[in-house]
Copies of this chain bind each other. A is one copy, B any other.
Amino acid sequence: MNALGTHLLLELKDCNREVLDDLALLQNVLVSAAEEAGATVLAKHFHHFAPQGVSGAVLIAESHLTVHTWPEHGYAALDIFTCGDKVNAELAAQILIDKLQSKDPAIMNIRRGVLVEQPV
């Protein structure tokens, strides 16, 4: 049974707290990770919260990447959702872990859209 999508949920603890509060840097990191992994970026939107924290979404032709950061906890939640065989989601994950300098990363890999079609 094949899945339509691959969804990586990244739990990144013990990150560089300055990186987690830098909107421009995070936007560049997510877009670069998407492109280096072979994705086509369609749109992006990032928001900085007061007093701290960033949320962002990058819509790609192959699904999406998102980030939400809590600099006060050194923690970021990232998602990489891809479909098709073109994008190397694991490479994108490794880039994100490296750029956020997480010393305690964890990845959940969830298959989305596992369908059992009825024969016609």
Residues of B with C-beta under 8 A to A66: 57, 64, 66, 81
Per assembly, the copies of the chain total: 2
Asked if A59 is at the interface (CB within 8 A of a chain B CB), the reply is yes
Q: Please report the C-alpha to C-alpha distance between residue A11 and residue B81 in the assembled complex, in whole angstroms.
A: 14
Q: Which of B56, B108, B110, B112 contacts A59 (CB 8 A)?
A: B56
Are B59 and A4 in touch, CB under 8 angstroms? Answer: no
Interface residues on A, range: 20 to 34
Interface string of A49-82 (1 = CB under 8 A from B): 1000001110101011010101001010101010
Asked if A7 is at the interface (CB within 8 A of a chain B CB), the reply is yes
Q: Please report the C-alpha to C-alpha distance between residue A4 and residue B98 in the assembled complex, in whole angstroms.
A: 22
Q: Please report the C-alpha to C-alpha distance between residue A75 and residue B5 in the assembled complex, in whole angstroms.
A: 11
Residue of B nearest to A56 (CB): B59
Residue of B nearest to A45 (CB): B43
Are B108 and A83 in touch, CB under 8 angstroms? Answer: no
Are A7 and B4 in touch, CB under 8 angstroms? Answer: no
